[in-house]
Structure formats: structure tokens, C-alpha cells
Chains A and B, each alone.
Chain A
Amino acid sequence: MILTTKVAWIGTVVRVFLGGIIGWAGIVKIHNPEAFIKIVKAYDLLPEGLVVIWGIFLPWIELVTGLFLFSGLWHKSAVLSSSGLFLLFAVAVSINILRGADIACGCFGFNDTNLYVVLLQDLVFLLCCCFLFFFKSTPYSLDHLLSTSRNAELS
């Protein structure tokens, strides 16, 4: 399958944007772990013992995933990891909407968000991930850089 460079460039923009968003969401939560743990608790989806563990590690998984996606290293794996995160968030938010939602999102540090908007946002990001998954790599990515230098070495 062949894609034109124009589409590949759109892929670069989407990749950098999504990577930035995920990474930033992680940084905001790492900055105030207690507040994030409280939000995880408010979602009421995990047993007590897992709430703190989830609250500590999820932001770091977001940050590392965001860095990989932003830099374009291991493109498909970073996209897969991001998709998993967005899918997880979408499910958690949907359950709480169905329950009657007595929580504020806590997604990017700004809590003043309607949960329906958050769900829509997660689904749009998930669609972006589906789009990115079609690429092996996009321009201005570490994958692209590594394969170019490898090809140059071989020739």
C-alpha cells in the first residue's frame, strides 16, 4: 500500500499533536499525584488497593507513551499504547455517565469539563490513533530517521 507524502505529513501533525496531548496529560497528573488519586477513587471502578497504584503509574505510562509518539520512535507500538489508553478512558467515562456521573473528569488538570465532551474527545483521539496505525512511520520521526540512516549505510 502506498500513501502520498501529503497524507504522511498529516500523519506527522496528528502524531505530534496526540503525543503532546498524552505527554502533557501525564505531566499534569504527575505534578499532583494526590489529586489524581482522588479522581481515580471518585471514578469508583477499581478496588481500594489498586486505586493508589493506578494513580501513581498511569500518568507515567501516559508520559512515556506520549514521548514515544511525539518522537515517532516505535511508531505502531506507541499508537497501540495510546489507543489502549484512550479506549480505557472512554470506557471509564461511559460507565460513569451511565451511572449518573458524580465526578469531574480530571483529564488534563482542568476539571471544569462536561463528561460527554470528554467522551467525544476520547473517541476523536481514538479515531486519530486508527488513522496513525496505517503508517509504518511518518516524516520527522525517529523511526524515519533511523531507517533512512540504515538504508544509507546499506547502500
Chain B
Amino acid sequence: MQPVSVGFYNYKLVLLRALVIQILGIGAGLIYTVIFSEQLLFGEVETSEKHDDITYVSLEVLQNVIQSKSKILLIDGRSESAYHEGHIPGAVNIPYIQHDYFFRQLLADVARETPIIVYCSGKNCNTGVELAKFLSQKSGFMHVQVFEGGWEEWVQGENPIQTGFDR
């Protein structure tokens, strides 16, 4: 078999070249962004991206739905510890990172026509939308919405909260 040498190497050169790779990446990104997406560098970035296939509900709508005692399933997509510290009354906890497991445990037998509203910690979390996509696109639920303001907006609005586990 033909031998392949792997021996000693000039590690200063390796580091320098690794730095050049980073600089090339930054340079390419700068050129591309200046030409094609200038607003990202110099303008306001809209990071609360909306998904066309997801419908959103406001705080007022959620309050009305809860007060009218409509038959909806409210899902808290945050972690178990965050849910334990406080959640919207009546919400069921399906932590996003273990959603497959919790889905099988809690929602597998729920009628697919049941309206669902999902929320996570606030406007910056993306797990609410991802959970909603999972429920509507992969699990067959027909009426899934996202409360975009999430836990943050609920608390700011001085709405009632519930602590502990409600499962």
C-alpha cells in the first residue's frame, strides 16, 4: 500500500490561512449584502418574520377566547421549568425540544378539529411557530394559531397566571 505522509506542519501558516478563510467569508458576505440586501446593513431588519401558512392571534383575541370559555387547546411550547414558574391558565405544556414525546403522551388522541393556540416566551422565540407547523403540517390539526406576543406580552398585560404543572 502506498504510504501517505501526515508529519509536522507549519502551524503559524495554518492559523494564518484559517484567518484568511474567515476574512474571505466576511468579504464575500459584505459584497453580497451591499449588492443584494443593502437594507440588512443599513436599514431596520424585520426579525419578527411572519409565515404565510401560520395565522396569528393578538392578546385581545386570546383574552376573549379564554373569557368566553370556548373549547380551545392552549399549548405552552416553553421548557418545563418555565412552565412550572408560571403559564397562561389552562395551557398544556409541550416543550418544543421534546415535542415528539409530549405529543404522543398528550395530544395523539385529541380530535384534529380542535382549535389550538400555541405560544412560547415572546416575540423573539421561534418555537411557537415551529410547534404550530408541526401540529398543522405533520400531525393533521386543522385549526392551529400562534399567540405571537407569547408569555412576555401576557405577563406585561397583567393577566392572570397559573403556576405548577397542569397536565
* A interface residues, Cβ below 8 angstroms from B: 1-8, 30, 33-35, 37-39, 41-42, 44, 51-52, 56-57, 59-65, 68, 74, 76-78, 80-81, 84, 97, 100-104, 106, 111-112, 114-116, 134-136, 138-139
Contact = CB atoms under 8 A, between A and B. Distances in A.
Given A34-B47, A101-B79, A112-B134, 17 more contacts: A2-B5, A8-B4, A33-B33, A38-B126, A44-B124, A52-B40, A61-B29, A77-B13, A77-B14, A80-B18, A101-B96, A102-B121, A104-B96, A104-B127, A114-B98, A136-B7, A136-B9
B29 A104 contact: no
B24 A64 contact: yes
A2 B3 contact: yes
A104 to B, nearest CB: 4
B50 to A, nearest CB: 11
B46 A34 contact: yes
Contacts of A134: 6
Nearest to B39: A34
A133 B25 CA distance: 21
Contacts of B28: 60, 63-64
Contact of A60 (B2, B7, B29, B77): B29
Interface size class of B (residues with CB under 8 A): 35 or more
A37 B29 contact: no
Interface in B7-65: 7, 9, 13-18, 20-22, 24-26, 28-30, 32-33, 37, 40-41, 45-49
B26 A135 contact: no
Given A3-B3, A136-B7, A78 B21 contact: yes
Interface of B: 1-7, 9, 13-18, 20-22, 24-26, 28-30, 32-33, 37, 40-41, 45-49, 77-82, 95-98, 100, 120-121, 124-127, 130, 133-134, 138
B25 A60 contact: yes
Contacts of A57: 25-26, 29-30
